[in-house]
A and B are shown apart, each in its own frame.
Chain A
Amino acid sequence: MPGGLTLNHFLVLSLIVFALGLFCVLSRRNAIGILMGVELILNSANINYLAFAFYGGGKYDGQVFSIFVIMLAAAEAVVGLAIVLAIYQDLRTIDVDATETLSG
């Protein structure tokens, strides 16, 4: 790998992305914002899989896993946006605090 990059660089990067994703999920009140945070978490895992696969050598398990994650992230976004859209049609807002009929 050029530039003296090592496995640790990627692991730290993925940890930062994971933390940012988690922060995004916890701090956003907009449903779309939360879904974007989830995407960040998924991508942090992808970075890990690719880094471990590249530096671990051998088979392509890591790459295959990350392809599946990308695909499932798309599927999750489809379902997620459909649900958000349905809520928007009823409530005219996608703020998760506004949808507080269930509690206790």
Chain B
Amino acid sequence: MQLGNVASLAYFIPELVLSATVVILIVLDLVTDNRAAAGIAALAASVAVFVLILAGGAGNERMFNGMIVFDSFSFYFRLLITLATMVAVWMSIGSDEVKRCDQGEYYAVLLAAALGMFLMAEADNLLMAYLSLELVSLTSYILTGFLKHNRRSQEAALKYLIYGGVASGTMIYGMSWIFGIAGSLSFGMINGALTQSGTGASLGVFIALVLILAGMGYKVASVPFHMWAPDVYTGAPIPITTYLAVGSKAAGFALLTRFFYPAISRLAANGNWQALAGVDWPQLLLVMCMITMTLGNLAALQQTNMKRLLAYSSIAQAGYALMGFVVLSNDGIRAMMFYLIAYYLMDAGAFLVVMIVANATGSEDIDAYRGLAWRGGMVPAVALAIFLFSLTGIPLTVGFIGKFYLFAAVIRGQFYILALVGILNSVVSLYYYLRPIRTMFLDQPAGDEAAVTGEAWNYGLMGVLAAATIVFGLYWAPLIAFADRSLKFFTGPA
């Protein structure tokens, strides 16, 4: 059903709470000197938002005169984004880097980014897609450069800004062509205009889609729009790196899926999607997906900085998730959605361990991990090993189950070359994921390294993430059932 502005507010409460919290945090920053208050308030707000989303459930409404939709798909992604926000806030509270910053502003901007990601997952209109993507981008630039007088942080922000500005500019130029060809900005109307009538402008549509892919591909960091990722991930404060890696990427996949599936493709009765006749974007994405994972994995092989290694690894992981995206079936999208949760657990966990080690030693280089297990860091070392095994896709971890569903969807869709490339890539990735594990357990400490003693705050979250990585690797049925239930887009008159 299409709702007007006032009627929509009833379904918009989590977002309203987020917006209100942003304002409150800014005011709080002005009236109190208590530096820890902002973090706790932000954490409380994100927990409240999580509960409110769960309580609100999923529906089938189009809100604010067709700007955003309230459906099962957005329900799934809003929960995932809230979980990512919680982890980012939790890590920020425990991070030595962030403690030196102006915290009221920091958390306000962080929650504003969460609001933008929510809207990305819900957008049903090209204008909303652009606005929400820019809201996430602008806040991310600020957060990346938040460490004042830190040269790496500033430089990362500048690079992010330049790549981001070009990517989103290119995207709206492409959107303007879709607007011209379809005559509307609303996804429903675009679908009607492009799939039913047959525009006769298939080349124009294809070029427009390539341009749009620049903006959305940049958010998920897929080749060839990935260049910003290693530098930004290395330069940003670690909680923000985590947030970009798990939150921003998930929101990017949500928007990508919503635009490329319900907006410009048609669902056949057998659960497969049909791309527009004469517009061969699946082939293009197939090639992009294969290059993304290969390039990510090969570049990760020679990294000596853990953040940078995980940055290239996250490019490769985006490539794996794209495997589910390009096979044009509901199986594939479901596998992608499941994989994003798996990726959230293991990647956030890995970055958390990097932060614990950075807090203790002040370094992010792999050298700082030498003999970590034998100098007081047995617990984080074991946790990091679990996360890295999961990222590789070793059985008994959630990463294995996620990859299993992805490969199952790829093989069922008879994309054998893609499956082969994916498997070869997993083998390559084993090498660089095992390297830190070897350094932590098999190398002896030289004796001059700082002892790693973490705080209960960080260890608690690490335990939860590690436990979830294992538990969902053994008992994943509820998660995949949830992804299956959530794979329902808004349906209604355009």
A68 in contact with B151 given A41-B170, A41-B173, A45-B173 (CB within 8 Å): no
A84 in contact with B183 given A68-B130, A79-B141, A91-B151 (CB within 8 Å): no
State which residues 58-107 of B face A: CB under 8 Å.
none
When the two chains form the complex, which single residue of A42, A51, A79, A100 contacts B161, counting CB atoms closer than 8 Å?
A: A79
Interface pair A31/B162, CB less than 8 Å apart: yes
Report A-chain residues with C-beta under 8 Å of the C-beta of B231. Answer: 102-103
Report A-chain residues with C-beta under 8 Å of the C-beta of B305. Answer: 104
**Interface flags, B158-177, vs A, CB<8A=1, else 0:** 11011001100110110111
Stretch at the interface among B142-150, B320-328, B365-373, B430-438: B142-150
Q: What distance in Å separates the Cβ of A90 from its nearest Cβ neighbour in chain B?
A: 6
A45 in contact with B149 given A65-B179, A83-B161 (CB within 8 Å): no
The DSSP consensus for interface residues of chain B is helix
Report B-chain residues with C-beta under 8 Å of the C-beta of A13. Answer: none
A76 in contact with B165 given A45-B176, A90-B154 (CB within 8 Å): yes
Q: What distance in Å separates the Cβ of B187 from its nearest Cβ neighbour in chain A?
A: 13
Q: What distance in Å separates the Cβ of B401 from its nearest Cβ neighbour in chain A?
A: 33
When the two chains form the complex, which single residue of A41, A68, A101 contacts B152, counting CB atoms closer than 8 Å?
A: A101
A-B contact count (CB 8 A): 122
State which residues 1-52 of A face B: CB under 8 Å.
11, 14, 18, 21-22, 25, 31, 34-35, 37-38, 41-42, 44-45, 48-49, 51-52
When the two chains form the complex, which single residue of A41, A72, A103 contacts B166, counting CB atoms closer than 8 Å?
A: A41
Report A-chain residues with C-beta under 8 Å of the C-beta of B176. Answer: 14, 45, 48-49, 52, 65
Nearest-CB residue, chain B, relative to A34: B162
Q: How large is the interface on B (under 10, 10 to 19, 20 to 34, 35 or more residues)?
A: 35 or more
Report B-chain residues with C-beta under 8 Å of the C-beta of A48. Answer: 173, 176-177, 179-180
A61 in contact with B179 given A38-B169, A41-B166, A45-B173 (CB within 8 Å): yes
Q: How large is the interface on A (under 10, 10 to 19, 20 to 34, 35 or more residues)?
A: 35 or more
A104 to B365, CA, bound (A): 14
Contact of B484 with A by CB under 8 A: no
State which residues 74-104 of A face B: CB under 8 Å.
75-76, 79-80, 83-84, 86-87, 90-91, 96, 99-104
Report A-chain residues with C-beta under 8 Å of the C-beta of B126. Answer: 65
When the two chains form the complex, which single residue of A41, A51, A61, A76 contacts B134, counting CB atoms closer than 8 Å?
A: A76
A11 to B134, CA, bound (A): 25
A38 to B154, CA, bound (A): 20
The DSSP consensus for interface residues of chain A is helix
A56 in contact with B180 given A41-B170, A42-B172, A65-B127 (CB within 8 Å): yes
Nearest-CB residue, chain A, relative to B148: A86
State which residues 296-312 of B face A: CB under 8 Å.
302-303, 305, 308
Q: What distance in Å separates the Cβ of A43 from its nearest Cβ neighbour in chain B?
A: 9
Report A-chain residues with C-beta under 8 Å of the C-beta of B149. Answer: 90
Contact of B341 with A by CB under 8 A: no
State which residues 342-371 of B face A: CB under 8 Å.
none
Nearest-CB residue, chain B, relative to A37: B166
Report B-chain residues with C-beta under 8 Å of the C-beta of A62. Answer: 179
Q: What distance in Å separates the Cβ of A89 from its nearest Cβ neighbour in chain B?
A: 8
16 contacting pairs across A/B (C-beta < 8 A): A11-B180, A37-B166, A45-B173, A45-B176, A61-B184, A68-B127, A75-B134, A76-B134, A79-B138, A80-B141, A80-B165, A83-B145, A83-B161, A86-B157, A102-B159, A102-B235
Interface residues of A (CB under 8 A from B): 11, 14, 18, 21-22, 25, 31, 34-35, 37-38, 41-42, 44-45, 48-49, 51-52, 56, 58, 61-62, 64-65, 68-69, 72, 75-76, 79-80, 83-84, 86-87, 90-91, 96, 99-104
Q: A22-B166, A41-B169, A100-B155 given. 11 additional CB < 8 A pairs?
A: A21-B169, A41-B165, A45-B175, A45-B176, A52-B176, A65-B130, A72-B134, A86-B154, A87-B155, A96-B158, A102-B152
Q: Shortest 7 CB-CB distances between A and B: which pairs?
A: A41-B169, A48-B176, A38-B165, A52-B180, A102-B231, A45-B173, A45-B172
